[in-house]
Amino acid sequence: MFLRELTMSIDHIRGAGPASIHALANAGITSVANLLCRYPRDWEDRSKTIPLKDFRLFPVCTIIRVLAHDWFSTGNTKTLKVYVEDDTAQAALVCFNRSFMDKQLLVGNVYRLWGNFYYKFGEIQATSFEVEAVPVSGSGNTGKQSVFGRILPIYPLNTGLSQGMLRKFIHQALTQYAGPIENELPQDIIVRDKLFPKSKALKAIHFPESLEELEIAKQTLIYEELFYLEVLVGRRSMERRSAMGNRGPGKEGSEQNLIHLSSLQQRLLDRLPFTLTPGQQEAVADINRDIDYPYPMARLLQGDVGSGKTLVSFLGALRVIEQGGQAALLAPTELLARQHAETAARLLEPLGIRPAFLTGNIRSSGRLGLLKSLGSGEIDLVVGTHALFSRDVIYKDLRLVVVDEQHRFGVVQRQAVMAKGEDPHLLMMSATPIPRTLALTVFGDLEVSVIRDLPPERKPVRTHLARESNETKVYDFVRNELAAGRQAYFVYPLIEADANRSLKDTETMAERLAGVIFPEYTVALIHSRLDEEDKRKTMEYFRRGNIRVLVATSVVEVGVDVPNATCMVIEHAERFGLSALHQLRGRVGRGAIQSYCFLVYSEALTEDGKTRLKVMLENADGFVIAEEDLKLRGPGHIAGTEQSGYFTLGIADPIRDAARLEQARADAFTMLEKDPDLSSPEYQCVAQVLSRTPPFGNVGL
């Protein structure tokens, strides 16, 4: 029996009452397999003594004697403080909302203590701690599992769940079911890498007897996930290769980098006031080649903000349109979709192409007519948000799907658009770089084009940091730019004032900027809660220059393109993540005029906040910033990938575990080449696992 086959309900677990079953179900845990796959997020080693004096280095794990109780007032309530000591130091346990502790911690008695201590008001204190009576020697097992003297799993919690509950049920489930769980990895790999059998790995990931055992359990489960990920990637890649008769478009690319432009493409380029950058040319050549192959394209187009990806996608669209098909461009926000639709109208209508903008607003006038023309093929290119895959949207012959800012979308959404055509070509675009190796490893056969250059006349944006108290200087600078005919963005973290008014918000600041700071210029407000028509008008006036200052939330983060806007002022900049800051800064510097970005920060800066601002000040390259972001946020947080379902991995992390991933890829690909049908006995388990249920529903495309 494989772990995934333990689909029986958790009410088969002894001791599970209705209340706990309900709480577990609310957290998405309904089967025994679900429960056992709820891996700890951390482990606390409470098997060794860490005395109070070492509180700065580790969480303390020691035996203490209670010295005294004390009560102090906080507002209307009284809080208990318990003074304790071990052989090395004295400390205070601050019992916020835990007055009952006065009955649990009796003066003179001895307890086991675990806690996170810090130095405050001249003493060593903890507010977060656990205590347990020291068992009288010889009394044996009290029936309850101790949280001391062992390595304790710490689970991710949802409301209604507690550590105690998860520990108890998982322990019981392991006892009842773990024994006969079969291995999913080929035996020779288990032996080669000295991994655990599956059932032992499961037991040890939850309740390791030593740190060494925990490490092997982790390695086993991580490797297993990565191996199956790569088996799926490998299988897809083989199918694709055989369908293309082994003529990988990627290979051909390097030999033949000439673009053969079709006549519509050429006509569009002839009308532009600029020429394509080398990076754009290469991308177009790649895309053209892909589109002309008999097999559907799957390409990721990466290029920093402002590198001109939209134009490249239009050129791709023109090619399929010229071949008689339709193209759809999916954007993450209405704002961006509308902007693309307007650009498409401006650039493509003169060529006789019919673009359309499909809004999410079902009642909007003209929608029915638009759907009809889409169904009849009169519309060649449709731009929109998720509206593109609503049920009532039918295409005549959808041959290319472009997904802009693709990291904003999940696999499911992408597939929903793809399903509107018959194996359409797919072009995904992103300014949020995924390291190339990772992209290849995760997507397997996905082709990647990278635009490394920006259009030549661009000047790097000058970035300045400003303390909140110096904001007037920033306003003065912006006033000069406005006087020179330029435009500016002001970005705030909140839409409206919060209760304690600790942060600036768009509504209050829009009023202030309009009334007091820039009374001589038009100032407008844009954020996600305004209605679509207002947003549309505001953007249109801003683009035309009738509005000079745009006050916004990070809705303007993605894609917005107004080259005359030269100032980006981000207040409370320390509140924004690196990828948001980079995207926001990318809204300026989009033409030949020198642009500026002001990062205004509050006095209370965290270390992380400080580092982020420094990274922004010192770097312009999105790839570098993305890497810094990775370092800061720790592995596994490539901007946006975790929510959007590049992959659903439980314990593996393709960045942290990059070396293992390489190994898993090599193993999986070797296996598939040697034995594509997985019919030999050593791969029997793999064949069986694959035939039961897909191991990951969400891999790649």
Cα separation, 587 vs 461, in Å, equals 10
| Closest of 79, 136, 147, 155 to residue 113, by C-alpha | 147
> Is residue 231 a contact residue for ligand ADP (CB under 6 A)?
no
* Rg (the chain; Cα; Å): 30
- Residues 204-263 within binding reach of Mg ion (CB under 5 A): none
Residue nearest Mg ion (C-beta atom): 559
**Can you tell me which of 125, 277, 538, 554 binds ligand ADP, judged by CB under 6 A?**
277
Which is nearer to Mg ion, 213 or 334 (by Cβ)? 334
Among 135, 248, 253, 563, binds ligand ADP (CB under 6 A): 563
Q: Which does 306 bind (CB under 5 to 8 A by kind): ligand ADP, Mg ion, none?
A: ligand ADP
Question: Does 310 contact ligand ADP by CB under 6 A?
Answer: yes
d(CA 533, CA 531): 6
List of residues 6+ apart from 449 with CB closer than 8 A:
282, 283, 286, 287, 299, 300, 301, 302
Contact stretch for ligand ADP (CB under 6 A) within 219-227, 302-310, 491-499, 618-626: 302-310
| 616 contributes a contact to ligand ADP by CB under 6 A | no
- Whole-number Å distance between alpha carbons of 388 and 413: 10
Phi, psi of 404 (to 5 degrees): -85, 150
With binding defined as CB under 6 A, does residue 325 bind ligand ADP? no
**Nearer CB in complex with Mg ion: 309/660:** 309
**In terms of Cα–Cα distance, which of 512, 492, 484 is closest to 596?**
484
Residue 307 binding ligand ADP, by CB under 6 A:
yes
Per-residue binding string, ligand ADP, 451-490, x by CB under 6 A, is ----x-----------------------------------
| CB of 421 or CB of 559, closer to Mg ion | 559
Output 622 or 700, the one with its CB closest to ligand ADP.
Answer: 622
Cβ of residue 428: shortest distance to ligand ADP, in angstroms? Answer: 13
Please report the beta strands in 312-397, taking only residues with DSSP state E, as ranges in sequence order: 326-330, 355-358, 381-384
Q: Which two tokens stand for residue 46?
A: 């409470």
Q: Which is nearer to ligand ADP, 611 or 619 (CB)?
A: 619
Residue selected from 60, 305, 344, 626 as contacting ligand ADP according to rule CB under 6 A: 305
Q: Cα(175)–Cα(178) distance, rounded to whole angstroms?
A: 6
Q: For residue 590, state whether it binds ligand ADP (rule: CB under 6 A).
A: yes
Which range of residues in 83-91, 100-108, 509-517, 551-559 is near Mg ion by CB under 5 A? 551-559
Q: According to the binding rule CB under 6 A, does residue 384 interact with ligand ADP? A: no
Rule CB under 5 A: which of 472-511 touch Mg ion? none
Which residue stretch of 168-176, 305-313, 565-573, 661-669 sits at the interface with ligand ADP (rule: CB under 6 A)? 305-313
The owner of tokens 């948001």 is 580
Is residue 276 close enough to count as binding ligand ADP by CB under 6 A?
yes
The answer to whether 451 touches 302, Cβ cutoff 8 Å, is yes
Cβ nearer to ligand ADP, comparing 249 with 559: 559
**Cβ-based nearer residue to Mg ion, 230 or 304:** 304
Answer yes or no whether residue 220 interacts with ligand ADP by CB under 6 A.
no
β-bridge pairing 60-74 and 77-85: antiparallel
User: What is the β-pairing status of strands 381-384 and 326-330?
Assistant: parallel
Looking at 311, 615, 616, 626, which residue binds ligand ADP (CB under 6 A)? Answer: 311
Nearer to ligand ADP, 562 or 613 (CB): 562
Distance between CA atoms of residues 28 and 276, nearest Å: 50
- Tokens 């949207």 locate to 393
Determine the distance from the C-alpha atom of residue 700 to the mean position of all C-alpha atoms in its chain, rounded to a whole number: 14
> 3-state SS of the chain: helix, strand, coil percent to 5?
45, 20, 40
Shortest CB 309 distance to ligand ADP, Å: 3
User: Residues 6 or more apart from 530 whose CB is under 8 A from it?
Assistant: 538
- B/e letters for 454-473, b = 16+ CB within 10 Å, e = fewer, are bbeebeebebebbebeebee
CB nearer Mg ion, residue 183 or residue 302: 302
Of these, 10, 229, 431, 599, which contacts ligand ADP (CB under 6 A)? 431
**CA triple 262-264-270, angle to 5 deg:** 100
Return the axis-axis angle of helices 163-173 and 18-26, rounded to nearest 10°: 100
Q: Site residues for ligand ADP, window 531-560 (CB under 6 A)?
A: 559
State yes or no: residue 308 binds ligand ADP (CB under 6 A): yes
Beta bridge partners of residue 113, listed in sequence order: 62, 131
| Closest distance to ligand ADP from the beta carbon of 560 (Å) | 8
Among 40, 186, 303, 384, binds ligand ADP (CB under 6 A): 303
What are the distances in angstroms from CA 605 to CA 36, 252, 494, 577, 630? 41, 52, 18, 14, 20
Q: Which of 203, 218, 299, 309 binds ligand ADP (CB under 6 A)?
A: 309
If contact means CB under 5 to 8 A according to the sort of partner, which of ligand ADP, Mg ion, none does residue 307 touch? ligand ADP
Among candidates 528, 188, 501, which has minimal Cα distance to 385? Answer: 528
Q: Are strands 487-491 and 565-571 parallel, antiparallel or unpaired?
A: parallel
399 binds, among ligand ADP, Mg ion, none (CB under 5 to 8 A by kind): none
Residue of minimal Cβ distance to ligand ADP: 308
Among 286, 447, 481, 561, binds ligand ADP (CB under 6 A): 561
Backbone dihedral angles phi then psi of residue 243, each to the nearest 5 degrees = -65, -30
Nearest approach in angstroms of CB 251 to ligand ADP is: 27
Q: Which does 589 bind (CB under 5 to 8 A by kind): Mg ion, ligand ADP, none?
A: none
Considering the complex, state which of residue 451 and residue 599 has its C-beta at the smaller distance from ligand ADP: 451
Stretch that binds ligand ADP, among 167-175, 186-194, 276-284, 528-536 (CB under 6 A): 276-284
Helix pair 334-348, 309-322: axis angle to 10 deg: 60
Partner from Mg ion, ligand ADP, none contacting 308, C-beta within 5 to 8 A by type: ligand ADP
Stretch that binds ligand ADP, among 47-55, 308-316, 356-364, 666-674 (CB under 6 A): 308-316
Does 430 bind ligand ADP (CB under 6 A)? Our answer is no
Which residue number, 186 or 303, has a Cβ lying nearer to Mg ion? 303
From 40, 153, 186, 306, residue interacting with ligand ADP (rule: CB under 6 A): 306
How far lies 99's CA from each of 70, 81, 82, 96, 638, in Å? Answer: 11, 9, 10, 7, 43
Q: Give the whole-angstrom CA distance, residue 178 versus residue 377.
A: 57
In contact, 109 and 66? CB cutoff 8 Å: yes
Q: x/- contact string, 554-593, with Mg ion (CB under 5 A)?
A: -----x----------------------------------
- Taking a C-beta distance cutoff of 8 angstroms, is the pair 44, 114 a contact? yes
Token output for 568:
């980006």
Region binding ligand ADP by CB under 6 A among candidate stretches 70-78, 306-314, 499-507, 527-535: 306-314
Pick the closer one to ligand ADP by CB: 381 or 651.
381
Binding site for ligand ADP (CB under 6 A): 274, 276-277, 280, 303, 305-311, 431, 455, 559, 561, 563, 590
Binding site for Mg ion (CB under 5 A): 559
